Amino acid sequence: MKKFFMLLALLGTTMMAAEKTVYDFTLSSIEGQATPLGSFKGKVVLLVNVASRCGFTPQYAGLEALYEKYKDRGFVIVGIPANNFGAQEPGTNQEIKTFCTSKYHVTFPMMAKVSVKGDDITPLYAFLTDKTANPKTGGEIGWNFTKFLIGPDGKVLARFDSEVEPDAKDLTSTIEKALSNLK
């Protein structure tokens, strides 16, 4: 019986150690290169599903300003194009990249287009929206420019809906708090 409880304790410890984080996922960059999100370990990351033909598209300018403001303190924004809402991101990855750099001068990392909901949801977004894995921030994404703030350990700290502008006090204060905890 003692061996059973020791085995049970060992399994529980192993399961806790195997808890998934954002850093367990890999996306493709907009240029087609594999980008393990683990490469951002130790940083505060804002994941944003983006679209070029959306009423929220002007948020690119605010996102770039936010990135420029905090990038030297260990902050990174990752733009993740998706065409799930009103077909507002119909372009190819090259067209998206050209649009973002020429119109909004985006310098933060951009990933290749993925699906953020539905049957073809990418594994990262299946994880982000899973209410069991992320009870406080999970749930289906409602529109483009939903923002997930990720801590240096890869855990989801907060979620902000599309209407939350990049310079909103709620968002910036949460980023500041997360950055103040960096070692």
Q: Who has greater pLDDT, 1 or 153?
A: 153
Question: Can you tell me which residue has the tokens 């679209």?
Answer: 51
pLDDT, tens digit, 9 for 90 and up, residues 18-33 = 689 999 999 999 999 9
CB 22 within 8 A of CB 156: yes
Q: Give catalytic residues, as residue numbers.
A: 54
pLDDT of res. 14? 41
Residue 14 has which token pair? 């192993």
Closest CA relative to residue 160, chosen from 83, 81, 86, 59: 59
Residue 119 has which token pair? 């049957």
- The DSSP secondary-structure symbol of 27 reads E
CB 149 within 8 A of CB 160: yes
State the average pLDDT over residues 71-89: 98
Q: How far apart (Å, rounded) are the C-alpha atoms in residues 47 and 63?
A: 11
Which domains are seen in the chain, by residue range?
Answer: 20-180 (3.40.30.10)
CB 110 within 8 A of CB 96: yes
pLDDT, tens digit, 9 for 90 and up, residues 152-178 = 999 999 999 999 999 999 999 999 999
Average pLDDT over the chain reads 92
Strands (E), 1-56: 26-28, 34-36, 44-50
Q: How many CA atoms lie within 13 A of 31 on its CB side?
A: 3
